[in-house]
Amino acid sequence: MRILVVEDTADVGEGVVECLEALGHAVDWARDGETADEWLRDTGYQLVVLDLMLPGFDGLTLLRRLRERRCETPVLILTARSAIDDRIGSLDMGADDYLVKPFDFRELQARVRSLLRRHSGGRAAELKCGKLVFDRSARTVRIDDVPAKLTRRELSLLEVFLARPTMVFSKAQLLDQLFGFSAEPTENSIEVLITRLRRKLAGSGVEITAQRGIGYHIVET
Amino acid sequence: MTVALASRLELPPSIFGRLRLLLATVFLIGALGALAAAWTLSKRAATDAYDQLLISSATQISEAITAENGQYSVLPPDSAFETLAQSKDDRFFFAVRAPDGSLLTGEPGLLPGSRHQVDGLPSLDYIDDDGETMRTVTIHRFIASLDTKGWSSVVVAQSLGARYQLVARLMLRIGAIIIFVAALGFLASLEAVKRALRPFDRIGHALSSRRAQDMGPIEVESPTETRALVDTINHTFHRLNERLNKLQNFAGVAAHQIRTPLAALGAQTELLLTDQTAQSRRKRVERIRAHLGKISRLTHQLLGQAMVSYRIDRIPHQEVDLVELVRHVLRDAVPESLSRDLVVEFDYAAPRIPVPGDDINLREALANLVNNAVTHGAVTMLRVRIDEGSDQICIAIADDGPGIASQLWDTATQPFQLPRTEGEGAGLGLSIAADVAKAHGGMLAFAWTAEKLFEISFIVARSAPLEKAA
Amino acid sequence: MRRLPAIIGAAILLLGIGGAVAFHAASDRDPEGDYSPPAGALVTYLPADEDDQGLPLVISGSIEAGFMRPFLLAFQRHNPRLSLVYIQSRNDALLERALWACQQRERTADIYLTSSTDHLVRLANENCATTLPSAIGQAAPAKASWRDQVVAFTVEPAVFVFTRELEGPLPPSHIALLDWLRGFPSDRARVGTYDIELSADGYDLAASDSNQDALYGRLLEGLGRSNIRLYCCSNVMVDALDRREIFFAYNVQLSYAYKAQRAGSRITVILPDDYQALQTLSFMLPKRPRDPDRALKLAQFLVSDEARAIAGHNLVPPGMSPKLAAAQADRLLAQASVTPLLLSLQDRARREHLIREWREAISPVRPEGGNSVSRTSARN
C-alpha cells in the first residue's frame, strides 16, 4: 500500500515513516501542506497520515481540499493540541481517525492497519450477508437482529471476509491484515480465531469455508 | 441616529444618580400636574366669585327700573356701584335699555349679550373692548305697569384684573405649598435612597480595604436586605479559598508526578550510555519507553483536567445524544494495539437518549472510564449499558478485571489517589470523570455486579442541573 | 356745548418774562396731535429759564391757573430747561375734548389736571389713560389713585362764607346752618351757591352733599326756602359777597375763600365741622403720550412732599398757627379719594335725577346784573 505522511517535525516524521515502512508499505513523506497537496493531486495513496500543525497551510485546510475533490482516501490525523475540539473538528471535516501526540508507535501501526482494512471494499456503512448485518461505524454484528457477542478480533476477521466476499484469503494474508508482520501471533492463532468465529456465526446463514491449501472465504448458505 | 439619540440620553452611571433622575422627574411631573390643577381650580373659583358680584350688581340695577305713566326710568343704586367697585382696579360699564330698545342710561355701545328673555336669569359672556377682554352679564327683566309692559335689559361689563389678581394670589400660596411639599418629598426620597444604598458602600469599602490574601468572611453591619449579598460574597470567598487550596495541593502532587518519571528518565538515559551489551541496552530502552508512556499519559490527563475544569465553569450545556456519544467513545478509546482480545458490548434503552450537557466534557470523562477499564481491567469483556431513570441517566461501564477494592471507593475520585497498587495511570481519570458527572447533576458510583463484574456508573441528570452548588 | 359769542376768540394771555415769546408750538396742528388750545381756553405760558429744551410740556387743566401756578413754578425750578403751557378750560369742555381725542387716537395734551376727578376716572374707565409707576399712586395723599392711572394730588373742600357784618354767632356745621337760615325771613335771606347744572364743580359738591342721606333733603329744603342766587364759580360768589349782593355763600371752594381773605376781602370763612363736601384734585396722563418722560416728571412732582406743602398752604386760613395749619391740611388731604364709585357721578340717569331733585328744591332768583352765570371770568 502507498501511504503519504505529512509531518513537519523531523524526529516525529522519521519515526512515523520508519514505523509504517516496517509494516511493508511504500511511504512518501511531505514536510509541508503545499507539497502534500501537490502530491495528493498527482498520486493515488491508500492512506494519509496528517499532522494538523503545519507550515504553509494547516492540516485541516489540506483535509478540506482533499474532501472537496471528492477524494475518499482515508486520513489519520496526528495532533498535538489536546483540545478535543481539534479532534471533533477534524472528524467532522472528514478525517477517519486521529491520534494525539505523544502516541505509542504500536498504536499507530494498529490504527493504520485497521483503517486500511476498513477501507478495503468501499465505504459502505453496513455489510450484509445472509441474516448477518455488520455495522461498520458501530462495529457491531447482528444476526437475525440479535446482537452477536463478537470480540474485536473476531469482528475484524469477519470484516475482512465481508468486505471482499468473493475473495479467498490465505492464513498469512489474514495474519497480516489482523496483526501485522511484527506481531507474535502465529498461523495457529488464526485457526483458533476462525474456529471461534464459525461457532458464533452458527445459524446466521453465513459460513466461513476453507479451500484446502489456499485459504478461507465466506459463503452464504 | 438611534445611536446618537441613545448616547445623548445616556443614564447616569450610578444607581443613586438614576434614582435621583427618576425621582426628580416624578416629583417635577407631579408638581406640574398639581400646579396645573390648582391653576384650573383657582381660575374657576375666581371666575365664580366675581361672576356672582357682577350678577349681583346687574340684578340691583335691573331692580331699579321703573315704569310710570308710560315712561321707563332707572336710577342705578349706590349699592350696584359699590358692588362693582369691589373689583378695585377694574373698569366697568353698564347699559340699561327700555323694552323699545332705547338706552335709559349707561354706555350706548354695550349691547345685551343674550336675547333670551327669562326674568332675572343672568347670562354670562366675554367681549373684547379695545383689546381688553371683559366679562359681561345680561339680565332681562319684565316690567309691567298699568299702561305699558315689556322686557327691559341690563348689561354690565367689567374687566378681569381682579380675577387675575385673585388667581395670582391663590397660585402664589398654593404654588408655594405644592413646591414646598414636592421639594420636601424629593429630598426625603433622596435621603431614603441614600440610606438604602449605604450598606452597599459599606460592603464595597469592606471588600476594597481588605488585604488581597485575606479570604475570611467580610464583617459588616448589614440589614436583612443585603444579608443575602454579604452571605453570597462570603460564600464565594470561601469557595475561592477552597479552590486555591486544592489547586496548591494539586500543583504539589502534579509536580511530584511529573518530576519523578523525568528523574527516572534522566537516570536511565545516563545508564544507557554506559551499558555495554545490546541486551542490557534493550532492557534500558524498554524502561525508558515505560517512563515516557507514563509521562505522556500524565500530560494527557493534566491537560484533559485543565480543559474539563475550564469547560465546567464556562461552557453552556446543549442537548447531547448519549447513545451516539458512547458509540464514538468506544471506537476512540479502545486502543487498536491492545494485545488482549475483547468482547465489547453496548446496550442502550432507547435509540436516542438526549440529555443537557457539554459534549466534549462528557466524551473526555467517558473516554477516561473506558480507557481505564480496557487498559487496567477488562480481561475478556467490556460492557457499556445506558439505563434511563425517571430523572437520571446511568451509563454503567463494567469489566471482568480486578476492579477497585471497596475500601478505596471513597477516595478513588480524588486526584492522584491511585486506586491500584501497581497501576500505570496517574490517577486523574476517575477524578476528571467524577468532576464532569457532578457538573451534570450526577455522580460516579462503584459496584460489583451479580456476575462479579466491576462496574462504574456514570450518572447524569436528565434535566439541566441546578447551578453548581458546590 | 354752548358757545357764547362773547367768548369766541379766546383771550390768550401770555404770561412770561420774555412777554413776546411766540407761542407757535401749541398753535400749529402737528402730526402728533392737536395741541392748539380750544375755544374758550385760557393759556398760560411758562417759558424755560434756560435754553428751551424742545417742545413745551402741554398741560390741560380745569383748575384755575392761579391755583396751579405755585405748583408749576416749583416744578420748573427743578426743570429749568422745560417750558410749560397750561391750557385752562372748563371741566366739561376738558372731558369732552379728552374723550374725543382718545376715540380718535389723537393727542390734545401731555397731562390732564382737573378738580372733577370723576371725569378722569371716566376717561380711565374708557381706557384713555396711561398706567403710571405704582410709586406715584402710593405717594398720593391718602394713597388716593385708581389703576395707577388717575392720581390725586390735593383736595378742595367746600366752605361757608359770610360777610363780615353779620352779627351773632355763625353756624359751625350744616345742621347749625339750617337753624341759622331759619332765623331769616325768606326774602331777606340773600344766599348764593353754585348752579350745579352749569358748573361741574358745583355738581361735584352737590353730589358730595347728597351722600349725607339724612341731611341732604333738609339742606335742599333750607336753601330752597331762602332767597337764593346761583353762580358759576367760587370767585364770582366771593365777589358777590364783597359787593354785599349776598351775605352768605354755600359751598365756596376753600382755596378761593382764603385767597380772597388774604387779598383783603371782608368775609368770614367757616369750614364746617360735621362733614366737608370735598373735591379731589387729580391728574392723569393720556394714552400714547407724546413725551411720557417729562409728563411723568410733573406727575412725580405733584405727589412730592414739596407739592404737598404747597397744597397744604392753600388749605389753611391766613394767619393760622403752623401746628394747627398742618393738622388741618393733613385732615383734609386724608379725605382725598379716587375710586370707581365716582363713575356714579357720570351716570346719565343719576345725574339727571340729582339735578332734577336739586332743581325742584331750589328756585333761584337771578342775581342783579344777570351775569353771574357767565363762564368767563378772566381775572386772576
pLDDT value of residue C182: 87
Average pLDDT over residues B226-241: 87
- Say which of A85, A100, A149 has its CB closest to residue B360: A85
**Across B409-423, B426-440, C100-114, C210-224, least confident range:** B409-423
Which among B206, B204, B190, B200 is positioned nearest to B223, based on CA atoms?
A: B200
A130 and A111 within one domain: no
Torsion, Cα B203 B204 B208 B211, to 10 degrees, reads 20
Res. C310: pLDDT tops 80 = yes
- How many Cβ atoms sit within 10 Å of the Cβ of residue C41? 21
Please give the C-alpha separations between residue C341 and each of A93, B79, C112, C121, in angstroms, as whole numbers.
108, 10, 20, 9
* Length of chain B measured in residues: 470
CB contact C349 to B (< 8 Å):
yes
- Say which of A106, A147, A152 has its CB closest to residue B342: A152
Q: Which domain holds residue A143?
A: 126-220
Last residue of a domain, one of A79, A94, A118: A118
For B:277-296, CB contacts with A below 8 A are 292-293, 296
Res. C353: pLDDT tops 80 = yes
Which among C15, C40, C159 is positioned nearest to C90, based on CA atoms?
A: C40
A136 and A110 within one domain: no
A109 and A16 within one domain: yes
Structural domain count of chain A: 2
One-letter identity of residue B404:
I
Residue C111 is classified by DSSP as E
The phi, psi pair for B123, rounded to 5°, reads -125, 130
Judge: A110–B304 Cβ closer than 8 Å, yes or no. Answer: no
DSSP string, A46-77: SEEEEESS-SSS-HHHHHHHHHHTT----EEE
CB contact C343 to B (< 8 Å):
yes
Q: Which is it for the CA torsion C16, C17, C20, C26, positive or negative?
A: negative
pLDDT confidence bin for C53, thresholds 50/70/90: low
**Across B301-310, C65-74, C231-240, C315-324, least confident range:** B301-310
Q: Are B128 and B137 in contact (CB under 8 A)?
A: no
CA distance between the termini of chain A? 33
- How many Cβ atoms sit within 10 Å of the Cβ of residue C99? 15
Residue A8 is classified by DSSP as S
One-letter identity of residue B325:
L
Q: How far is CA B362 from the centre of its chain?
A: 33
Q: Are B398 and B343 in contact (CB under 8 A)?
A: no
Judge: B84–C340 Cβ closer than 8 Å, yes or no. Answer: yes
A188 and A159 within one domain: yes
Question: How many angstroms away from the CA of B383 is the closest CA of chain A?
Answer: 11
CATH number of the domain residue A50 falls in = 3.40.50.2300
pLDDT confidence bin for C22, thresholds 50/70/90: very low
Write the pLDDT tens digit of every residue in C141-200: 999 999 999 999 999 999 999 999 888 889 999 999 999 988 888 777 889 999 998 899
Judge: C340–B76 Cβ closer than 8 Å, yes or no. Answer: no
CB contact C353 to B (< 8 Å):
yes
CATH number of the domain residue A161 falls in = 1.10.10.10
pLDDT value of residue C374: 37
Residues of B with CB under 8 A from a CB of C: 73-76, 78, 81-82, 84-85, 88-93, 96, 104-106, 129-130, 132
Res. C21: pLDDT tops 60 = no
Res. C24: pLDDT tops 90 = no
CA distance between the termini of chain B? 47
- Contacts of residue A68, defined as CB under 8 A and 6 or more positions apart, other chains included, come to none
Judge: C340–B85 Cβ closer than 8 Å, yes or no. Answer: yes
pLDDT confidence bin for C135, thresholds 50/70/90: very high
Chains touching C, CB cut-off 8 Å, 3+ pairs: B
**Is ipTM beyond 0.95?**
no
Please give the C-alpha separations between residue C260 and each of B385, C45, C90, C253, in angstroms, as whole numbers.
142, 24, 21, 11
Highest mean pLDDT out of C10-14, C19-23, C270-274:
C270-274
Q: How far apart are CA B423 and CA B304, in angstroms?
A: 19
Q: How far apart are CA A82 and CA B19, in angstroms?
A: 51
Q: Do strands B454-461 and B392-399 pair parallel, antiparallel, or not at all (unpaired)?
A: antiparallel
Question: How many angstroms away from the CA of C166 is the closest CA of chain B?
Answer: 40
Question: What is the SS3 assignment for chain B?
Answer: CHHHHHHHCCCCCCHHHHHHHHHHHHHHHHHHHHHHHHHHHHHHHHHHHHHHHHHHHHHHHHHCEEEECCEEEECCCHHHHHHHCCCCCCCEEEEEECCCCCEEEECCCCCCCCCCCCECCCEEEEEEECCEEEEEEEEEEEEECCCCEEEEEEEEEEECHHHHHHHHHHHHHHHHHHHHHHHHHHHHHHHHHHHHHHHHHHHHHHHHHCCCCCCCCCCCCCCHHHHHHHHHHHHHHHHHHHHHHHHHHHHHHHHHHHHHHHHHHHHHHHHHHHCCCHHHHHHHHHHHHHHHHHHHHHHHHHHHHHHHHHHHHHCCCEEEEHHHHHHHHHHHHCCCCCCCCCEEEEEECCCCCEEEECHHHHHHHHHHHHHHHHHHHCCCEEEEEEEECCCEEEEEEEECCCCCCHHHCCCCCCCCCCCCCCCCCCCCHHHHHHHHHHHCCCEEEEEECCCCCEEEEEEEECCCCCCCCC
Q: Are B369 and B429 in contact (CB under 8 A)?
A: yes
A114 and A9 within one domain: yes
In a 3-state reduction of DSSP, which class is residue A117?
helix
Last residue of a domain, one of A68, A97, A118: A118
Q: What percent of chain B has pLDDT over 90?
A: 31
* Chains A, C in contact, 3 or more Cβ pairs below 8 Å: no
A16 and A109 within one domain: yes
- How many Cβ atoms sit within 10 Å of the Cβ of residue B316? 7
**DSSP H or E stretch at residue A209:** strand A206-211
Name the one residue in this structure whose C-alpha cell is 500500500. A1
* Chains C, B in contact, 3 or more Cβ pairs below 8 Å: yes
Q: How far apart are CA C214 and CA C175, in angstroms?
A: 11
- Contacts of residue A120, defined as CB under 8 A and 6 or more positions apart, other chains included, come to A160, A163, A164
Judge: B307–A83 Cβ closer than 8 Å, yes or no. Answer: yes
Task: Name the residue in chain B with its Cα closest to that of A108.
Answer: B337
* Length of chain A measured in residues: 221
Cell representation of residue A21: 515502512
CB contact C125 to B (< 8 Å):
yes
Question: How many angstroms away from the CA of B75 is the closest CA of chain C?
Answer: 6
Res. C305: pLDDT tops 90 = yes
**DSSP H or E stretch at residue C293:** helix C292-302
Task: Name the residue in chain A with its Cα closest to that of B361.
Answer: A84
Q: Which is it for the CA torsion A2, A8, A10, A13, positive or negative?
A: negative
Q: How far apart are CA A193 and CA A98, in angstroms?
A: 28
Judge: A84–B363 Cβ closer than 8 Å, yes or no. Answer: yes
Judge: B335–A154 Cβ closer than 8 Å, yes or no. Answer: no
| Residues facing B459 on adjacent strands | B394, B443
Domains and CATH numbers, chain C: 5-155+280-339 (3.40.190.10), 157-278+342-361 (3.40.190.10)
Q: How far apart are CA B184 and CA B176, in angstroms?
A: 12
CB contact A114 to B (< 8 Å):
yes
Task: Name the residue in chain B with its Cα closest to that of C125.
Answer: B91
For C:143-172, CB contacts with B below 8 A are 146-147
Q: How far apart are CA C278 and CA C271, in angstroms?
A: 11
Please give the C-alpha separations between residue C106 and each of C15, C30, C83, C260, in angstroms, as whole numbers.
28, 11, 22, 39
pLDDT value of residue A121: 66
Judge: A149–B296 Cβ closer than 8 Å, yes or no. Answer: no
Which among C145, C69, C78, C115 is positioned nearest to C340, based on CA atoms?
A: C145
Judge: C350–B104 Cβ closer than 8 Å, yes or no. Answer: no
Domains and CATH numbers, chain B: 17-168 (3.30.450), 212-314 (1.10.287), 317-470 (3.30.565.10)
Q: Are B154 and B148 in contact (CB under 8 A)?
A: no
A183 and A113 within one domain: no
Task: Round the average pLDDT of chain B to a whole number and report it.
Answer: 85
Which among B127, B128, B131, B133 is positioned nearest to B164, based on CA atoms?
A: B133
Which among C162, C53, C61 is positioned nearest to C113, based on CA atoms?
A: C61
Cell representation of residue B26: 416624578
- Say which of A100, A110, A151 has its CB closest to residue B341: A151
Where on the phi/psi map is residue C230: left (φ > 0), alpha (ψ -120 to 50), or beta? beta
A30 and A130 within one domain: no
Task: Name the residue in chain B with its Cα closest to that of A146.
Answer: B347
Cis peptide before B465 (omega within 30 of 0): no
A8 and A113 within one domain: yes
- Say which of A82, A109, A153 has its CB closest to residue B341: A153
C295 CB-contact burial (10 Å; exposed 0-12 / middle 13-18 / buried 19+): buried
Residue C369 is classified by DSSP as T
Q: Are C53 and C82 in contact (CB under 8 A)?
A: yes
Write the pLDDT tens digit of every residue in B146-193: 778 888 999 999 999 999 999 999 999 999 999 999 999 999 999 998
Which residues in chain C are contacts of B129 at CB distance < 8 A? 127
In a 3-state reduction of DSSP, which class is residue C167?
coil
Res. B468: pLDDT tops 70 = no
Higher model confidence: residue C55 or residue B459? B459
Judge: C349–B85 Cβ closer than 8 Å, yes or no. Answer: no
Q: How far apart are CA C16 and CA A172, in angstroms?
A: 159
Q: Are C131 and C149 in contact (CB under 8 A)?
A: yes
A131 and A112 within one domain: no
B139 CB-contact burial (10 Å; exposed 0-12 / middle 13-18 / buried 19+): buried
Task: Name the residue in chain C with its Cα closest to that of B73.
Answer: C349
Write the pLDDT tens digit of every residue in A25-63: 889 999 888 889 888 888 888 899 998 888 777 888 888
A92 and A52 within one domain: yes
pLDDT value of residue B201: 84
Q: Are B434 and B470 in contact (CB under 8 A)?
A: no
**DSSP H or E stretch at residue A187:** helix A187-200
For B:296-325, CB contacts with A below 8 A are 296, 299-300, 303-304, 307
In a 3-state reduction of DSSP, which class is residue A10?
helix
A153 and A100 within one domain: no
Which residues in chain C are contacts of B91 at CB distance < 8 A? 124-127, 147, 340
Res. B232: pLDDT tops 50 = yes
**DSSP H or E stretch at residue C323:** helix C322-333
